[in-house]
Amino acid sequence: MGKPRILSGVQPTGNLHLGNYLGAVRNWVELQSEYENFFCVVDLHAITVPHNPQSLAQDTQAVAALYLACGVDLRYSTIFIQSHVAAHSELAWLLNCFTPLNWLERMIQFKEKALKQGENVSVGLLDYPVLMAADILLYSADKVPVGEDQKQHLELTRDIAIRVNDKFGQPENPVLKVPDPLIQKAGARVMSLADGTKKMSKSDESELSRINLLDSPETIQKKIKKCKTDPVKGLWFDDPERPECHNLLTLYQLLSGQSRESVAAECREMGWGQFKPLLAETAIEALRPIQDKYQKIMADPGYLQSVLREGNHKANQAATATLERVREAAGFLPKT
Ligand code: AMP
Ligand code: TRP
């Protein structure tokens, strides 16, 4: 028996921010040696809302380079681009036909994003979770490490897999593997710097609401200086009246690599004037090695290209095997 499998992905909608890093990519890196990992840049998901064709290719490359810069190790992990493996679109179509419409209409993220889009809601936005299910199920992933916001999509993925197995498989011979979510407690929901009750998001209009992994030290300093706080002196976790305080302490804890207890003790008596520069310095130092590595990778485009070529080859092999199994189970004429 080989190692259990992991699959995860991030959309190439601009750069990665601290929520993506602390909620997802950092956990991939921590776990990777125990698993066989597939990490994709989900460019097909990025076009479910209006996108910029001038920057899509560049953003896709940048996210792949950031995976490497954050420590994804090719000894354990395969990095690839979702749209380069045609099986994702093909399985998504098959799953579309086995997924009840009302399962999708219930999705919280769809409702939220649809509200923002107004008149301009694409069929793709509704279908987004089915494509995500295809991403995961193609690789027979055992675990899917994501942030808290993806929990409902993973439950849907499980429901779709179970339904396909019920319709087309035998109990002793399932068609699809039913995956489990892997959501770490700390970092699963990094909140906006401008409002501690809203999650940090790429789609927030305000750049001040998030710290991007490639922000310069000056920008990080400025964003933290301007971030929302409260007039209370002394800092502690878990106070529902102080969401910003909880969020910023959690960021400090994760970026400094300390335990929650030691952060709680260190910051108990601190005021914001002392804490903010400390957090800024910690964030700058934590991101510096990632930024250095990113610059090196981007300076050698041939290297990134070869990583992606190899990744696409491996991903295609794994994905095609599953797609064939589903086609066969659903009764399609085999390809000649
Ligand atoms: P996205 O940027 O929507 O493609 O998200 C990529 C990954 O980052 C997913 O695993 C998300 O759950 C995770 N993620 C996005 N925003 C946050 C956040 N604010 N806090 C924690 N995880 C997040
Ligand atoms: N929907 C995920 C997000 O926005 C991104 C994603 C697409 C994904 N396919 C995936 C995450 C498969 C994990 C596994 O966060």
Rounded to the nearest angstrom, the distance between the alpha carbon of 167 and the centre of ligand 1 is 33
Burial level of 316, CB count in 10 A (0-12/13-18/19+)? Answer: middle
| Contact between residue 279 and residue 220 where contact means Cβ atoms under 8 Å apart | no
Distances in Å between the alpha carbon of 301 and those of 15, 86, 295? 18, 24, 11
The binding-site residues of ligand 1, defined as CB within 6 angstroms of any ligand atom, are: 10-11, 19-20, 23-24, 146-147, 149-150, 188-190, 199-200, 202
| pTM exceeds 0.85, yes or no | yes
Q: Does 170 have pLDDT greater than 90?
A: yes
What proportions of the chain, in percent to the nearest 5, are helix, strand and coil? 55, 10, 35
Task: Tell me the pLDDT tens digit for each residue of 139-159.
Answer: 999 999 999 999 999 999 999
Give the CA distances from residue 100 to residues 122, 160, 287, in Å, rounded to whole numbers and listed in that order: 18, 9, 43
Our separate counts of H helices and E strands in the chain read 14, 5
pLDDT single digits (tens) 78-136: 999 999 999 999 999 999 999 999 999 999 999 999 998 888 899 999 999 999 999 99
Closest C-alpha to 223, from 286, 292, 283: 283
Share of the chain above pLDDT 70, in %: 100
How far, in Å, is the centroid of ligand 2 from the Cα of 115? 20
Question: What is the average pLDDT across 182-190?
Answer: 90
What's the pLDDT at 74?
A: 98
Neighbours of 321 (CB within 10 A): 13
pLDDT for res 199: 95
Which atom of ligand 1 is the closest one to the Cα of 24?
A: 10
198 is catalytic: no
List the catalytic residue out of 3, 151, 198, 199: 199
Predicted local distance difference test score (pLDDT) of residue 219: 98
Q: Which ligand is nearest to the CA of 183?
A: 1
The pLDDT tens digits of the residues spanning 50-86 come to 999 999 999 999 999 999 999 999 999 999 999 999 9
Mean pLDDT along residues 272-292: 97
Q: Check if the beta carbon of residue 275 is closer than 8 Å to that of residue 235.
A: yes
Residue 166 pLDDT > 90, yes or no? yes
For 334, residues 6+ apart whose C-beta sits below 8 A from its C-beta are: 327, 328
**Ramachandran assignment for 118, one of left (phi > 0), alpha (psi -120 to 50 degrees), beta (any other):** left
Query: What is the reported pLDDT for 335?
Result: 85
Looking at the DSSP assignment, which residues form a beta bridge with residue 10? 41
Q: How many residues make up the chain in this entry?
A: 336
Q: Cα Rg for the chain, rounded, in angstroms?
A: 21
- For residues 36 and 69, is the Cβ–Cβ distance under 8 A? no
**Both tokens of residue 124?**
């793709």
pLDDT at 1 over 80: no
